[in-house]
Amino acid sequence: MVYAALCLLTLLLVFIPPGLTVTRLACVFSAACLLNFTAFYFFVHISERELRSIRKLINLIRKNKISSPEEIVLPENLYDLQEEIRAMYLRTQNDIDYLKKLERVRTEFLGNVSHELRTPIFAIQGFIETLLDGAINDSKVNMKFLGKAAHHTENLNNLLNDLIDISMIESGEMHLSFRYFRLIDLIKEIIPELLPEAEKKNLKLIVNPFDEKLQILADRNKLRQVFNNLILNAIKYTEEGSVSVIIEADESAARIMIKDTGIGISEKDIPRIFERFYRVDRDRSRAAGGTGLGLAIVKHIIEAHSSKVEVRSTILGGSEFAFRLKH
- Contact footprint for ligand ADP (CB under 6 A): 229, 233-234, 237, 260, 262-265, 273, 278-281, 285, 290-296, 319
Residue with the CB atom nearest ligand ADP in the bound state: 290
Rounded least distance, CB 127 to ligand ADP, Å: 22
Judged by beta carbon, residue 27 or residue 165, the one nearer ligand ADP is 165
The whole-angstrom separation of Cα 274 and Cα 296 is 5
Judged by beta carbon, residue 74 or residue 116, the one nearer ligand ADP is 116
Judged by beta carbon, residue 120 or residue 294, the one nearer ligand ADP is 294
The whole-angstrom separation of Cα 172 and Cα 73 is 42
Degrees, nearest 5: CA angle 57-58-60: 65
Judged by beta carbon, residue 226 or residue 254, the one nearer ligand ADP is 226
Backbone angles phi, psi at 31, to 5 degrees: -60, -45
Rounded least distance, CB 110 to ligand ADP, Å: 19
Rounded least distance, CB 129 to ligand ADP, Å: 27
Q: Which residues pair with 259 in a beta bridge?
A: 244, 320
Rounded least distance, CB 285 to ligand ADP, Å: 3
194, 229 contact by CB (below 8 A): no
The whole-angstrom separation of Cα 228 and Cα 240 is 19
Judged by beta carbon, residue 85 or residue 256, the one nearer ligand ADP is 256
Judged by beta carbon, residue 145 or residue 323, the one nearer ligand ADP is 323
Rounded least distance, CB 283 to ligand ADP, Å: 10
Judged by beta carbon, residue 173 or residue 283, the one nearer ligand ADP is 283
